[in-house]
Structure 1
Amino acid sequence: MRAERVAAPVTTSNEFTDALAGASDTRAIVAGLGVLDRTGAVFLDVFGALEAHLVADENTWAVAGEEVVASLREAGVPVSEPLVLPGSPSVYASYENVEMVRDHLSRRGGGCAVVIGSGTLNDLVKLASGELGRPYLVVATAASMDGYAAYGASITKAGFKITQYCPAPTAVIADHRVMAQAPRRLTATGVGDLIEKIPAGADWLIADALEIEPIERSVWDLVQAPLRASLADPDRIAVGDESAIASLADGLLMSGLAMQAHRSSRPASGAGHQFSHLWEMEGLGRAWEPPLSHGKKVGLGTIALCALYEVVLRRDLATLDVDAAVRDWPAWAEVERRIRAADLPSDITAAALEQSHAKFVSPARLRSRLERLREVWPALSRQLRDQLVPASEVRATLETVGAVTHPEQIALTLAQLRSTYARAQMIRSRYTVLDLLLEAGLLEECVAELFAPDGYWGSSSVPAAAPLLT
């Protein structure tokens, strides 16, 4: 049963007040130094006298579990026996684990979950609570991802990772002191997740200019307005400076609110995320200790996309040979053959075919789109240059915080990275620069330029220092 909303006003951190006005689910975000002790008051404010069912893993429980329980009990909130999962690679964002959490919560009757943790834990509880029709509260423990306040959860089901739509948390507690003390590898993954919003914004500019998916300006601003400031000081982020971590965390929370307001991950996720999702479907780094995080893979995808955009922007697409592109455009049967031959995991090929078919266009539609591309390219290319940053700058930021910047750091060869550009385009219906280049007949040519001896990847060396794992 969904909790009734109480009439009392919710106290929230000032910087989120306007953003929450457009949120569909989240009513309160309390962010700041030493705010764990406000968990009980916020729970009582938004849920009333319901019982709290805590979910954590061994690591997050050690960091914040006792203080959260104390705050809830001090506020008079009844607390059930917590579910504390192993702090190990065995707990990942699979639907089987969603079912396990859902079964635990359902055995406790009514009440609301309080999840203590980030990434995987938040997504598991979010979808489990959504399937039960219950609201929940999240206590953020690391500035490691943008999903705290997001609508939907990234879950692997039947081998295919995609956003499963479910309500965002009703309330978020983000203690910047706790987040600043998180392992540096978690902060690095948050930087990787956030920095991808730069080329993701460029992808949305393309989709908007081609009249495929219009930009919603208020949502765009939630992500893009704080983005540069949140990433401005990687040196201080790297050493866990509380002010720098606060700025990073706030940028991540704003991205989540934007996805919630838009009811889609479009405002904060572009082709760089598709790189990561593909590698996750293939199980890359899942069994490592610690597991290779989503944000580390997203960061590498961001470099890959920013480098590709540099190649694209050296071309004048206002002179594109539309007749040649339409002549060479394959029929769907040929596209299907290519997808089946693309060395995708066998259990996701059917889903990739469905996603690709959803964005496949007829030759007549393609001609119209490419003619518009030629028309808008002078203005669009200026917008893209203003939006993007050089791949070298992204790499420098990620290296500073200890993230991944070269495929060989995560056991990928350059040949495997090269194939990812084409294969990542297949797994999502969302229109990105990968689709623009495929439709223009330029994807293979532009990717080849990246891997030429003097291209970005062809001339790139593996950093001397390994990414931080602690």
Structure 2
Amino acid sequence: MQSREHVIDLPRRIYVGTGLIERIGEFVRSLGLRAPYLLVTGPTVRTMVVEAILNRTEGKVEVLETYRGDMEEVEEAESVVRSKGTMTVLGVGGGRSIDIAKYVSFRTNSDFVSVPTAPSHDGVTSPFASLKGLGRVVSVKAKEPSLIVADLRVLSQAPRRLINAGIGDTVGKLIAVRDWKLASKLRGEYYGDYTASLALMSAKHALSCATLIERDKFEGVRSLVEALISSGVAMGLAGSTRPASGSEHLFAHAVDLIYPNHALHGELVALGTIMMAYLHGINWKRLRKILSGAGIPTRARDVGIPDDIVVKALTISHTIRTERYTILGDRGLTWEAAERLATETGVIS
């Protein structure tokens, strides 16, 4: 079934380079983005990054720290925006802070500025947010960034684990695109060839980063950031998260639902990608070898996830987003099939 309306949301301007944090006030002014500002950030974002933004941004700036990435924090941020008359919301940090900022911007019709400090996710660009609420992880329409500031000096200094998570998240597009095409064939869902190709290119780019980053961390991060941005652009072009989120993401969300805060999102996506590659008939052994060679966990125990949690997550993954058809089908996997899949791929022992 074809949609009557296809809406494409893309950023107005993207800056990628070094020394950009110090120029953020200049970039904001060049696009006519107005004060008052709300800066949404996390507790682990380096003070020097936040202070550099505060010192170089003219006008009133409120700062709000996020810890959980749930609807309660969205409502808290929205209350600040409405009470202070905020015109522009800056998401500074990782996925949680950026998701809160972009969703609050959408709900209040404020401008949104994306300032990632770790290349751990592809939400940098996309007009969608993943939030915790109602006992599950929900993906919601959010505000596309008017401005993205990706300072490679800051991003390349992020912990290696966060960088690896970004690779894992982006490699997952290998599965997402195949799930999307499957849904198109079996359910008549809209499928965009160009958009799918862009997402696949991002995934292949991320795989190359897995080897490049061992030789040259800075150039590896530059390449990864470009892949993350293009993945977000693919979602904007598609008007949905379809090019970037399939059964591998459903697995990641399922684990986080039943065993929260034990692994990074991108780490779980990497595990899900290996298993779903097996189901899709992709060369999962080669994929696992590349990821493992970059230091990305390919066994659940490496990120503190018990075997039974992996199996349980596989059996409920198809229920995370019932409107999204994937290789898992409508009924999902039985416990026996899930255990066999995870064992065969080496994700569990």
Question: Residue 59 of structure 2: which of 78, 86, 105 is its match?
Answer: 78
Matches within 5 A, 1:450-469: 450=341, 455-457=344-346
Shift of 1:48: 4.2
Q: Which residue is 1:28 aligned to? A: 13
The alpha carbon displacement at 1:166 in A equals: 1.7
In the alignment, the residues of structure 2 paired with residue 218 and residue 273 of structure 1 have an alpha-carbon distance, to the nearest angstrom, of 22
Partner of 2:227: 251
Q: Distance between the aligned counterparts of 2:159 and 2:225, measured in 1?
A: 14
Equivalent residue letter for 1:79: K
For the pair shown, the structure with the greater C-alpha radius of gyration is: 1
- The answer to whether the Cα contact below 8 Å between 1:278 and 1:424 also exists between their aligned partners in 2 is yes
Choose from 275, 280, 283 the match for 1:304. 275
The residue type equivalent to 2:60 in the other structure is V
Give the aligned partner of residue 87 of structure 2.
111
Residues 186-197 of structure 1 aligned to structure 2 (within 5 Å) = 186-197=162-173
CA distance in 2, matches of 1:444, 1:415: 10
What SS is found at the alignment partner of 2:243?
helix
Tell me the CA shift for residue 270 of structure 1: 0.6
Distance in 2 (alpha carbons) for counterparts of 1:425 and 1:106: 37
**Cα deviation, residue 445, structure 1:** 8.1
Q: Distance in 1 between matches of 2:134 and 2:339?
A: 33
Q: CA deviation at 1:29?
A: 0.9
1:49-94 C-alpha deviation (Å, 9 max, x unpaired): 433332223432424122223332xxxx3132433x27xxxx1211
TM-score with structure 1 length normalisation?
0.67
Query: Residues 122 and 231 of structure 2 are in contact (CA less than 8 Å); yes or no, is this contact kept in structure 1?
Result: yes
Distance 2:116 2:241 in 1: 20
Corresponding residue number in structure 2 for 1:358? none
| Aligned mate of 1:54, from 16, 39, 49 | 39
Q: Which runs of 5+ in 2 are unaligned?
A: 1-6
| Runs of 5+ unmatched residues, structure 1 | 1-21, 311-387, 463-470
- Percentage identity across aligned positions? 26
Contact 2:37 2:86 (8 Å CA) reproduced: no
CA RMSD of aligned residues (A): 2.6
Q: 1:227 to 1:408 in 2, by over 3 A?
A: closer
1:191-210 → structure 2 map (5 Å cutoff): 191-210=167-186
Query: Partners of 1:176 and 1:70 in 2: how far apart?
Result: 20
Q: Matches of residues 186-335 of structure 1 in structure 2 within 5 Å?
A: 186-237=162-213, 241-282=217-258, 284-286=259-261, 292-310=263-281
Tell me, in whole angstroms, the C-alpha distance in 2 between the residues paired with 1:399 and 1:34.
Answer: 32
Which whole-Å CA distance do the structure 2 matches of 1:444 and 1:278 have between them? 15
**CA offsets, 1:143-185, max 9 Å, x none?**
1000011112101112121112122221110111211110111
Deviations 1:390-428 (A, max 9, x none): 222222233233333112234444444234333111222
Partner in structure 1 of residue 310 of structure 2: 417
CA distance in 2, matches of 1:445, 1:230: 33
Cα deviation for residue 140 of structure 1 reads 1.2
Q: Post-superposition shift, 1:281?
A: 1.7
2:152/2:222 contact within 8 Å kept = yes
